[in-house]
Structure formats: structure tokens, C-alpha cells
Amino acid sequence: MGTSNKSFRNSIIEAVRQDKYEVVDEILFKSPSAFNCKNEQGYNIIQLAVINRSEKVYNLIYHITESYREIEDSSRNNLVHLVGRLAPSFVLDRTTGAALQLQRELLWREKLMLPLLLLQENDNKETPSMVFTREHQDLLKQGEGWMKQTAESCSITAALIVTVVFAAAITVPGGSDQQYGIPVLKKEFAFTVFAVSNALSLFTATTALLLFLSILTTRFSERDFRVSLPRRLIFGLLMLFLSTTAMIVAFCAILFLVFCDQRPWMLAPICVLACLPISVIVTIKLPLLVDLIRSTYVPIFGKQSYLEFCKINRGNTIFMK
């Protein structure tokens, strides 16, 4: 390792640890041999990118060498063994919720799950699957608790909405005709809005409730946290948002029918107050929904837009020593 390598060693190792791909790109562009830098434990930058879950750095450098799949450390841990270790706490803290943290760990494992390496044993006679299960057993329990707590809180809200809108559905505003049982206000546009919104709220809230209950009754295995459980929670939250909005619209339609016919000035404060509960539930649950969608459906590996501006020539292959 030359003098140039030594001068870049600490910088590139810290940049890999913090996933600063711009710094890694600049160093490798100026000194390609810096690719062979290792830390005190003997880990090179590809191994460090895997250990620290630095996906941007990994996307930048994994294509440089043809032999990275066979890399082993002093304890005969290959890359799949290393990805089976629990990520550092500062990496886990980037993701909200133990379930999403476990999902991100499973995504890394899925990316590096190479058939030739899955059955290899390290010095402790452990396969990569054994390492992953041992290292993540506490996170699995935390993810199960987080998922159950989230589903329970949302299911209570969904159950309350179902109760309210069902009671409103059988209590027709304005009453019904005594002879035929037809609603008196059925020709009013606001009544149509009420009927449609109330029905929509009932159906979506029921769907959300069933989705949340399905989460509570699942087996909570490792693979369920990859797609199955997050997807149920995503659709459950979407149905909950829709049912809440539809319920508020239906209630506003009732108020308009009862009060605003002779007092049109009441329409403005009703609309303003109607936005309050909708904004509250969106403010509380929308960040979670965005995190779930991003973590489940937005890829973090492969061709990324930020790689287009990198200086490293992908045509050059650097072989590790």
C-alpha cells in the first residue's frame, strides 16, 4: 500500500461507515488503489459497506471487483455471514420502528443471498442463516411487539368508525315517509353525499379492521416482515385514512341538511372544523405510511440516480489483494 493509500485510509474508511458515497467516489477517482484499504480489524471497504449497511457506497463499488463474493475475514465469515450480523445501532436508528428495521435487514440479506455461500460455515460452524437468526432474535421480538401495538391502536380507531357510521346508516337524517319508508330528503344533493360517504366509510373501515386483525393473528416469522406484514399495514392505513375522511364528509352533509338550509353562514365553520380530525390523523399516521411505502416498494440497490454523477469509471476493474 503506497503513501497515497495511507493518506486516504482513515478518510475512506470513515466515509464508508457513514455512507458518504461522494467522498468514496472522489477518493477512488484520485487513487484507485485506495480500494484495498482496510481497517484495524482487517475489513476492506466492501465488507465495511455491508457491515454498516451503507447501501449508497455498496451500489457505488460492488461492481468494481469480480471476486468480492468470495471475500472472507479472519474467522472465515463471508459477506453473507457479515450481513447476518445485526447492524450497528446508529444505522438502525435511521429507520423508524423495529419492524421496519428488521425489514431493512432482511432486504440486505436478500440482496447478498448467494446460493454458493449459504451453506458455508465459519470458524464457529455457523451458516449465514444461523448467524442471522441468532443476531436478530431480539429485533424480531421487538418488531413483533411494534407491529402488534400499531395494529391494535389502528384497529380500535377502525372499530369506532364502523360503529359510528353503521349507526348513522340506519338512522336516516330527516326521517322517512310513514307509508313507504322512503327517506324524506332523498332528492337533496346533500343527502346523496351523505349516503355515498357513509357507505364508503363503512366499507373501508371494515376492510381496515380486517387487515389490522390479520396482522394480530399472523405467525410473525422472519420472512413475514419483508413484504407481507408491511403491505397489510400500508393498505390498512390507506383504508383508515379514507374511512375517516368519508365519515367526516358524511357528518358534514348531515349538518348541512339539518342546519344550513336556513343558516348558510354555518357552512364555512363546519368545513373548517371538519378539516381538524382529518389533519390530526394524517399528521400522526402519514409519516409512518410514507416510511412503510418507501421501505417496502422503493429499491435501494441497483441503478440509482445519484450514481450517474459519480466519477468512477465502471469499465475499470480493480482486483483486491
DSSP conformation letters of 60-116? HHTTT-S-GGG---TT---HHHHHHSPPPHHHHTTSSSHHHHHHHHHHHHHHT--HH
Amino acid (1-letter code) at residue 217: T
* Chain centroid to CA 142: 16
* pLDDT category of residue 200 using cuts at 50, 70 and 90: very high
> From the CB of residue 271, how many other CB atoms can be counted at a distance below 10 Å?
12
Q: What is the pLDDT of residues 206-232, one digit of tens each?
A: 999 999 999 999 989 999 999 999 999
Residue 139 has pLDDT above 90, yes or no: yes
Round the average pLDDT of the chain to a whole number and report it.
84
Question: What's the distance, Cα to Cα, between the start and end of the chain in Å?
Answer: 10
Q: Which of 118, 59, 57, 56 is nearest to 83 (CA)?
A: 118
> From the CB of residue 34, how many other CB atoms can be counted at a distance below 10 Å?
24
Residue 134 has pLDDT above 60, yes or no: yes
Residue found by looking up cell 443471498 in the block: 113
Residues contacting residue 105 through CB under 8 Å, at least 6 positions apart: 53, 86, 87, 132, 136, 139
- Kindly state the average pLDDT of the residues 49-54: 93
* pLDDT category of residue 2 using cuts at 50, 70 and 90: very low
Cβ atoms 11, 46 nearer than 8 A: no
Q: What is the pLDDT, as a whole number, of residue 307?
A: 83
Cβ atoms 68, 61 nearer than 8 A: no
pTM listed for this prediction: 0.85
- Kindly state the average pLDDT of the residues 4-28: 85
Residue 314 has pLDDT above 90, yes or no: no
- Kindly state the average pLDDT of the residues 12-36: 89
Cβ atoms 215, 232 nearer than 8 A: yes
Q: What is the pLDDT, as a whole number, of residue 199?
A: 92
Cβ atoms 48, 54 nearer than 8 A: yes
Residue 320 has pLDDT above 50, yes or no: no
Buried b (16+ CB within 10 A) or exposed e, 239-268: bbbbbbbbbbbbbbbbbbbeebeeeeeeee
Instruction: Specify the 3-state DSSP secondary structure of 239.
Output: helix
* Separation of alpha carbons 312 and 184, rounded Å: 74
Q: Which of 238, 131, 282, 257 is nearest to 194 (CA)?
A: 257
* Separation of alpha carbons 22 and 306, rounded Å: 9
> From the CB of residue 137, how many other CB atoms can be counted at a distance below 10 Å?
12
Residue 117 has pLDDT above 60, yes or no: yes
Cα Rg for the chain, rounded, in angstroms? Answer: 28
Q: What is the pLDDT of residues 60-89, one digit of tens each?
A: 887 776 566 678 888 888 888 999 999 999
* pLDDT category of residue 111 using cuts at 50, 70 and 90: confident
Question: Which of residues 142 and 270 earns the better pLDDT score?
Answer: 142
Residue 188 C-alpha cell reads as: 337533496
> From the CB of residue 185, how many other CB atoms can be counted at a distance below 10 Å?
17
Question: Which of residues 209 and 36 earns the better pLDDT score?
Answer: 209
